[in-house]
Amino acid sequence: MKKFLFLLLAFVLAACGAGAPTEPPVIEPTATPQVILQTVVVTVIPTEVPTEVPTNTPLPPPPAAPTDTPPPAPTQEVAPPAAPAGQAMVDDSLGGGVFKNITLSGNAFSLRCAPKEITFSVTPTDANISSVDFYYRIEDKQTAFITEWKNYGKMIPDGSGNFVLNFSGESLHPDLRRAKAWFDFQFIGVSRAGGVVGRSEKIVQQVSYTIDCQ
């Protein structure tokens, strides 16, 4: 009897344990998805639609070429030729109407200092002139004394229609030398017969002469 009660009690306890309510499982919360919005800016570049020219619109005629002949350009005056570098040129008006292209290698020379000589060149304009005599005189700058004209001699033809003369400081007559002076000169054109055809003007105070360096 006791064994039977013991078995019955065990059966009751087992039934009570099987019918007891169980707790529901814990569900882990899931992360809420985030929605990211991205704004895209689209720039629209307007384009111009070329206007089509109607094919039935006539184009304007090209401008007519001028028929009048344009006036000629004004004539430019030609300047007289300049003297080469390092030279001086005397105006042709001092040629007396019988000489032109009066050229000097400089405007000063000296007895003891460079330059010690000066070169004269002249072109006769009269075909009757076969030779040219060279005359000179001295004007003292300190006393204003003026010497007489002296004939130095004939210039040398260069074969091109010109006459040339080299005059050095030592060529000046010793009695005419001055410390500071003007060296005046003149050209005289002579014919084959020895007669004077024409003279240049007296070309004065354009060339300086000194004895020592100044």
Q: What is the pLDDT of residues 95-146, one digit of tens each?
A: 999 999 999 999 999 999 999 999 999 999 999 999 999 999 999 999 999 9
Residue stretches of the chain with pLDDT short of 70: 1-86, 214
pLDDT value for 5: 52
Cα atoms in the 13 Å half-sphere on the side-chain side of 87 = 15
Per this entry, what is the length of the chain? 214
CA Rg value for the chain: 61
Q: pTM for this structure?
A: 0.59
- The full set of domain ranges for the chain reads 88-210
Token pair 């001699």 is at which residue?
153
pLDDT value for 91: 92
pLDDT value for 171: 92
pLDDT value for 89: 87
pLDDT value for 63: 61
From its phi and psi, is residue 55 left (phi > 0), alpha (psi between -120 and 50) or beta? alpha
Structure-token pair, residue 205:
């105070």
Please give the CATH number for the structural domain made up of 88-210: 2.60.40.10
pLDDT value for 182: 96
Q: How far apart are CA 142 and CA 180, in angstroms?
A: 7
